[in-house]
Amino acid sequence: MLSREENELLTRVGRGTPMGELLRRYWYPIAASSELIEKPTKAVRVLDEDLVLYRDKQGRPGLIGSQCAHRRMSLVLGIPEKDGLRCPYHGWLYDRNGKCLEQPYEQAEDPDSTFKERIRMPAYPVEELGGLIFAYLGPQPAPLLPRWELFVRDGVLRDIGAAVIPCNWLQIMGIIKTRMLEGESEDNEDWQVGHPVLFPNILLSGSTSRPTFQIRVPVDDTHTLHLWYTCYPRGDSEGPQEVIPFYNVPVPGVDATGEPQWALLDNNSGEDMIAWITQGGVADRTQEALGLSDKGIILYRRQLKEQLEKVQTGQDPINVFRDPTKNVYIKLRLEDSKLNSGSFRSGPRRQGGATKYSPVLNQEERVGK
Amino acid sequence: MLSREENELLTRVGRGTPMGELLRRYWYPIAASSELIEKPTKAVRVLDEDLVLYRDKQGRPGLIGSQCAHRRMSLVLGIPEKDGLRCPYHGWLYDRNGKCLEQPYEQAEDPDSTFKERIRMPAYPVEELGGLIFAYLGPQPAPLLPRWELFVRDGVLRDIGAAVIPCNWLQIMGIIKTRMLEGESEDNEDWQVGHPVLFPNILLSGSTSRPTFQIRVPVDDTHTLHLWYTCYPRGDSEGPQEVIPFYNVPVPGVDATGEPQWALLDNNSGEDMIAWITQGGVADRTQEALGLSDKGIILYRRQLKEQLEKVQTGQDPINVFRDPTKNVYIKLRLEDSKLNSGSFRSGPRRQGGATKYSPVLNQEERVGK
Amino acid sequence: MLSREENELLTRVGRGTPMGELLRRYWYPIAASSELIEKPTKAVRVLDEDLVLYRDKQGRPGLIGSQCAHRRMSLVLGIPEKDGLRCPYHGWLYDRNGKCLEQPYEQAEDPDSTFKERIRMPAYPVEELGGLIFAYLGPQPAPLLPRWELFVRDGVLRDIGAAVIPCNWLQIMGIIKTRMLEGESEDNEDWQVGHPVLFPNILLSGSTSRPTFQIRVPVDDTHTLHLWYTCYPRGDSEGPQEVIPFYNVPVPGVDATGEPQWALLDNNSGEDMIAWITQGGVADRTQEALGLSDKGIILYRRQLKEQLEKVQTGQDPINVFRDPTKNVYIKLRLEDSKLNSGSFRSGPRRQGGATKYSPVLNQEERVGK
């Protein structure tokens, strides 16, 4: 049970809040690279900030404030150009650093105008890795984007599922290490391996031959972008994957009469989501009752508080990487044997989670692999 | 015309408000028994409290708080068992009194754990009568569930219509005793009989050979569950009714442009509802102008205030029954002759109200009775 | 850039606010006359007031408060009669001046009742001109309804498009006088003529042979009724127009994921609307950066402040007409030559705006004119 103040401390993600400042020390995936193939821009809300993601004509992703500095029109309508994003209203052009490069009317009427030099838009660094576009919203110098094994390993197929879940990120981090499943013995990998957390927001779901990162990106205090980043062993005959497919995972809820959407609860990701969502936008932890089963929760909250203190005393929190030699390939302790298994494990749980909607897996099944 | 304070006094239904405390002295129907045949649970909001109704495997209905005491997941996802309702998140089991019977992980790790004895969920008594499930949310000892004639009389068919109306319950109690209908004389039963109110929230609509209770259950300050509980004379050849059918009555409103939904206004229940709804969530009675036509309203408000005083001085308000010998069969003064009529009266008003949607009546009509 | 206080001063439209009082000195179109052919009433929200428009059985439009003075039911359900609008709840009848003419039950029970004389509903003057119904919500004596050329000129066909745009009216007044269009020379009429504003809320779009008034009617602080009032030259063989057609213009927005509704952005009215809407309900002008391109905006804001002062010192603001001899036919400086051109100009921009949805224009095109 937490006090109201402690609950707010751990759940608020906006700029200037203690947790918002801690969370800003990390990179977050905000889109799949493939999302920008079909559409020119993507509206992004992350850590309570409204931004627009685009890819310029040189192929570089950029992330700037959502409202044009001139007259506040949304740049989700912006037009990507060689050097940045142009507002369609009066044509102001911004580069990836938020600098205003052009103001057509001002320059036409006064070629010596210095007005554009006094304009600055919010802008944040973005990098691509493993088919994801990551952003960093914290203080400079930015740390390195961690090269976790799943993002960089060769010889695998990947796909990326996404859902925006209408609740605070912290209640999604409420995992227990082991599950008790009727009829399964303690030899089961769920007992042996568990689900490690890569602080602050990645769960490695390692219970099958398809390792998955469940990445929880705080959108705002009451919404979380949930990504399922899955790797599948790739046969020698298959070439490298040109585009990592992106798919949406439907989010179950309760309808206006309070009735659960049972049709979306036929898989364990759907069940997880409704357990998180029905706790409310921010769970009222003044009314919880934690027990022995919640050691993981208690440990995680303690870890959050320790890292909050580190930030407040000017130190880097854990999992902030600054040494490039240590960021080539960050091996994950327990996954190696599984990836080396080289084949899918069959069984009834195969389609049991968000991968129910996975295009890679569905294609595999169709071709009878 | 009321002051703002008087309007609030008469309309607020939450725990701790004066009217909320008065209303908590009565039993309220919260579901039809038949609703729990198809689905395991029903989300119930009544008197501003969120609860979950279920039927255990012994057949007993139970009503407990909507959020699990452990980690706040909604128990509308709960699984009914022999002794209560189990949360699907970590398996805690609650009985009908809100007592926690099992915490599987705690018991597995520490068989001597007393943790579950320190857990208590909100829980309220429920009883079934006449095909309805009633709840009592007030102080103990609970009064008797009144056995009004319509609920207990033999030899009738029944059905139950329901709608959640988006306005405060009090503006639904705004009846006048008689209606003036063009072309009808004062011999008409509407003049002779009128529509008695069973304090606090039941209107007996007695103007036809189909007596109907219109039961208004306060959901919260701006929503009301409206039930149409109708009895139809039953022929000797018909057996008793095994399941009392339940039907939803569509609620008319105005669309986003302010245009009324005319298609739902072809019956007098639809017309009644839009008259109530368009007064707003809580009607602004500081702007009303009551006249001679509103004697019933004025009388009813006075009655509410008298009963509020009774509760505040520790007495039972009216229509609270505690003597079982007086609660066997509460006869309603004016209905007997009608029920004895033994046949339906024909005429254009037959399908005029919510019974437009009644499965019993629609079936009667189909078989040409 | 404005201070927060200045932004509020210029954007609030409710009764009692400075801008609300200035705006109340003008007539506003609130419906097309033809809208009341099919339906008996229209819910109208204008200058933050909820009203009901109807046409009595003598053919006169009336505009009164939306809630019956008796028991607060909405008069959008009212029944137009010879002398006014009757509430269907208990039959009170109101005339066009808000006077209560009948209270059937009161009169039946007490023929000498003077109750109805003590009842008064909000009511405002309405007038019809050029197929529009205009209302005046300001202090008496009301000024004249201006007879702008487009409303009164003979020999034209007209139609009226409408959309309710979810943003404050002021950001819709954010025009620049000239547009820079790639590949067009300064001979283009857009350069020569521009788009004059008839203070406070009408833009004359004069760039084609189809002059259009874009009329922006403040609904409330965050909504604006936008009318496209278009005139088309009429051939000698065509008779006068009996009914001026009314059409709805779809409003583009961004969907729940922030994605623009591209399908509605294939015309310049759609583009204009999304530029206004994506600035937010009320644009945050503390974050704008105006330049040389915004001279028109700056001029218009200065004009608003000057007129605010006039009202505060008891004078009529500009464009308030009180001399009937000067209100016969208010010629618009630059339009005459175009209306005289006698034929449509062909070209790719013909269907470029809201007129994409115009029934007159679409019919013209079908018959090959």
Min Cα–Cα distance to chain B from C9, Å: 28
List helix spans (H) across chain A: 4-11, 18-23, 35-38, 104-109, 149-152, 189-192, 268-277, 295-312, 336-339, 359-366
Strands C156-165 and C246-248: parallel
Question: Is the Cβ pair C115, B275 closer than 8 Å?
Answer: no
Chain C residues inside the 8 Å CB shell of A105: 176, 180, 291-293
The pLDDT value recorded for residue A343 is 40
For residue A123, the cross-strand partners are: A64
Q: Give the chain B residue whose CA is nearest to the CA of C225.
A: B257
Contact B24, B140 (CB under 8 A): no
Q: How confident is the model at residue C211 (pLDDT cuts 50, 70, 90)?
A: confident
Q: What is the mean pLDDT of residues A264-284?
A: 95
Distance of CA C209 to the CA centre of its chain: 22
The pLDDT value recorded for residue C189 is 54
The pLDDT value recorded for residue C234 is 79
Report how far residue A210's alpha carbon sits from residue A342's, in angstroms, rounded to the nearest whole number: 10
Chain A residues inside the 8 Å CB shell of B63: none
The answer to whether residue B266 neighbours chain C at the CB level (below 8 Å) is no
Contact C42, C52 (CB under 8 A): yes
The answer to whether residue B329 neighbours chain A at the CB level (below 8 Å) is no
State how far the alpha carbon of B32 is from the alpha carbons of A67, B63, C298, in Å.
52, 14, 64
User: Per-residue pLDDT for A291 more than 70?
Assistant: yes
pLDDT tens per residue across span A6-51: 999 999 999 999 999 999 999 999 999 999 998 999 999 999 999 9
Question: Is the Cβ pair C257, A106 closer than 8 Å?
Answer: no
Pick among A89, A106, A120 to test the C interface (most C CBs inside 10 A): A89
The answer to whether residue A263 neighbours chain B at the CB level (below 8 Å) is no
Q: Give the chain A residue whose CA is nearest to the CA of B219.
A: A257
User: Which among B43, B88, B89 has CB closest to A258?
Assistant: B43
User: Per-residue pLDDT for A228 more than 80?
Assistant: yes
The answer to whether residue C220 neighbours chain B at the CB level (below 8 Å) is no
Distance of CA A80 to the CA centre of its chain: 24
Residues 6+ apart with CB under 8 A from B217: B28, B29, B30, B46, B169, B201, B224, B225, B226, B227
Chain C residues inside the 8 Å CB shell of A121: none
Report how far residue C265's alpha carbon sits from residue A24's, in angstroms, rounded to the nearest whole number: 36
Per cent of chain A over pLDDT 90 is: 73
Question: Is the Cβ pair A76, C287 closer than 8 Å?
Answer: no
The answer to whether residue A347 neighbours chain B at the CB level (below 8 Å) is no
Chain A residues inside the 8 Å CB shell of B36: none
Pick the range with the lowest mean pLDDT from C6-20, C53-67, C258-272. Answer: C258-272
Q: Give the chain C residue whose CA is nearest to the CA of A51.
A: C258
Strands A156-165 and A223-233: antiparallel
3-state secondary structure of B79: strand
Looking at every residue in chain B, the average pLDDT score rounds to 88
Written as one letter, the residue type at C21 is: E
Q: How confident is the model at residue C369 (pLDDT cuts 50, 70, 90)?
A: very low
The answer to whether residue C318 neighbours chain A at the CB level (below 8 Å) is no
pLDDT tens per residue across span A162-220: 999 999 999 999 665 444 445 555 555 555 556 788 999 999 886 556 789 999 999 99
Q: How confident is the model at residue C195 (pLDDT cuts 50, 70, 90)?
A: confident
Q: Tell me B208's DSSP state.
A: S
Q: How confident is the model at residue C288 (pLDDT cuts 50, 70, 90)?
A: very high
The pLDDT value recorded for residue C332 is 83
The pLDDT value recorded for residue B345 is 41
Contact B315, B321 (CB under 8 A): no
- Against chain C, the chains showing at least 3 CB pairs within 8 Å are A, B
The pLDDT value recorded for residue C344 is 40
Chain B residues inside the 8 Å CB shell of C67: 278-280, 284, 287
User: Which among A258, A283, A293 has CB closest to B90?
Assistant: A293
The pLDDT value recorded for residue C194 is 61
User: Per-residue pLDDT for C296 more than 70?
Assistant: yes
Chain B residues inside the 8 Å CB shell of A289: 69-70, 115, 118-119
pLDDT tens per residue across span B192-234: 556 788 999 999 886 556 789 999 999 999 999 999 999 887 7
Provide the greatest CA pair distance for chain A.
Answer: 78
Q: How confident is the model at residue C348 (pLDDT cuts 50, 70, 90)?
A: very low
End-to-end CA distance of chain B: 49
Q: Give the chain B residue whose CA is nearest to the CA of A293.
A: B105
Written as one letter, the residue type at C222 is: T
State how far the alpha carbon of A237 is from the alpha carbons of A26, A331, A337, A365, in Å.
37, 26, 21, 17
The answer to whether residue C73 neighbours chain B at the CB level (below 8 Å) is yes
Min Cα–Cα distance to chain C from B153, Å: 34
User: Per-residue pLDDT for C363 more than 80?
Assistant: no
- Against chain B, the chains showing at least 3 CB pairs within 8 Å are A, C
Question: Is the Cβ pair A76, C254 closer than 8 Å?
Answer: yes
Contact B160, B247 (CB under 8 A): yes
Question: Is the Cβ pair B105, A283 closer than 8 Å?
Answer: no
Looking at every residue in chain A, the average pLDDT score rounds to 88
Chain A residues inside the 8 Å CB shell of C285: 72
Chain A residues inside the 8 Å CB shell of C271: 88
Which has the closest alpha carbon to B118: B130, B106, B126? Answer: B106
pLDDT tens per residue across span A154-172: 888 999 999 999 999 999 9
User: Per-residue pLDDT for B348 more than 80?
Assistant: no
Model pTM greater than 0.95?
no
Min Cα–Cα distance to chain A from C276, Å: 7
User: Per-residue pLDDT for A341 more than 80?
Assistant: no
Report how far residue C351's alpha carbon sits from residue C362's, in angstroms, rounded to the nearest whole number: 9
pLDDT tens per residue across span A97-151: 999 999 999 999 999 999 999 999 999 999 999 999 999 999 999 999 999 999 9
User: Per-residue pLDDT for B343 more than 50?
Assistant: no
Q: What is the mean pLDDT of residues A62-84?
A: 98
The pLDDT value recorded for residue B335 is 43
User: Which among C73, C118, C119 has CB closest to B278?
Assistant: C73
Pick among A53, A71, A86, A115 to test the C interface (most C CBs inside 10 A): A71
User: Which among B67, B76, B108 has CB closest to A258?
Assistant: B76
Min Cα–Cα distance to chain C from B258, Å: 5
Residues 6+ apart with CB under 8 A from A233: A155, A156, A157, A209, A339, A341, A342, A343, A344
Question: Is the Cβ pair C72, B288 closer than 8 Å?
Answer: yes
Which has the closest alpha carbon to B151: B357, B327, B347, B343? Answer: B327
Q: How confident is the model at residue C356 (pLDDT cuts 50, 70, 90)?
A: confident
The answer to whether residue A174 neighbours chain B at the CB level (below 8 Å) is yes
Q: What is the mean pLDDT of residues C132-159?
A: 95
Which H, E and C letters describe chain C, residue by residue? CCCHHHHHHHHCCCCCCHHHHHHCCCEEEEEECCHHHHCCEEEEEECCEEEEEEECCCCCEEEEECECCCCCCEHHHCEECCCCEECCCCCCEECCCCEEEECHHHHHHCCCCCHHHHCECCECCEEEECCEEEEECCCCCCCECCCEHHHHCCCEEEEEEEEEECCCHHHHHCCCCCCCCCCCCCCCHHHHCCCCEECCCEEEECCCCCCEEEEEEEEECCEEEEEEEEEEECCCCCCCCCCCCEEECCCCCECCCCCECHHHCCCHHHHHHHHHHCCCCCCCHHHCCCCHHHHHHHHHHHHHHHHHHHHHCCCCCCCCECCHHHCCCECCCCCHHHHCCCCCCCCCCCCCCHHHHCHHHHHHHHCCC
The answer to whether residue C254 neighbours chain A at the CB level (below 8 Å) is yes
Question: Is the Cβ pair C292, A113 closer than 8 Å?
Answer: yes
3-state secondary structure of B228: strand
The pLDDT value recorded for residue A354 is 81
The answer to whether residue A181 neighbours chain B at the CB level (below 8 Å) is no
User: Per-residue pLDDT for C193 more than 80?
Assistant: no
The pLDDT value recorded for residue B189 is 55
pLDDT tens per residue across span C213-244: 999 999 999 999 999 999 888 777 777 898 99
Min Cα–Cα distance to chain A from B58, Å: 23
Q: How confident is the model at residue C346 (pLDDT cuts 50, 70, 90)?
A: very low
Chain C residues inside the 8 Å CB shell of B290: 70-71
Pick the range with the lowest mean pLDDT from A221-225, B177-181, C104-108. Answer: B177-181
User: Per-residue pLDDT for B361 more than 90?
Assistant: no
Chain C residues inside the 8 Å CB shell of B165: none
Contact A294, A175 (CB under 8 A): no
The pLDDT value recorded for residue B359 is 79
Q: How confident is the model at residue B66 (pLDDT cuts 50, 70, 90)?
A: very high
The pLDDT value recorded for residue C349 is 33
Pick the range with the lowest mean pLDDT from A239-253, A327-341, C84-98. Answer: A327-341
Report how far residue C252's alpha carbon sits from residue C257's, in angstroms, rounded to the nearest whole number: 14
User: Per-residue pLDDT for B76 more than 80?
Assistant: yes
pLDDT tens per residue across span C165-183: 999 999 999 665 444 444 5
What is the number of alpha carbons within 13 Å of residue A136 lying toward its C-beta?
18
Q: What is the mean pLDDT of residues C262-286?
A: 95
Interface of B with A in 96-125 (CB under 8 A): 103-106, 108-110, 113, 115, 118-119
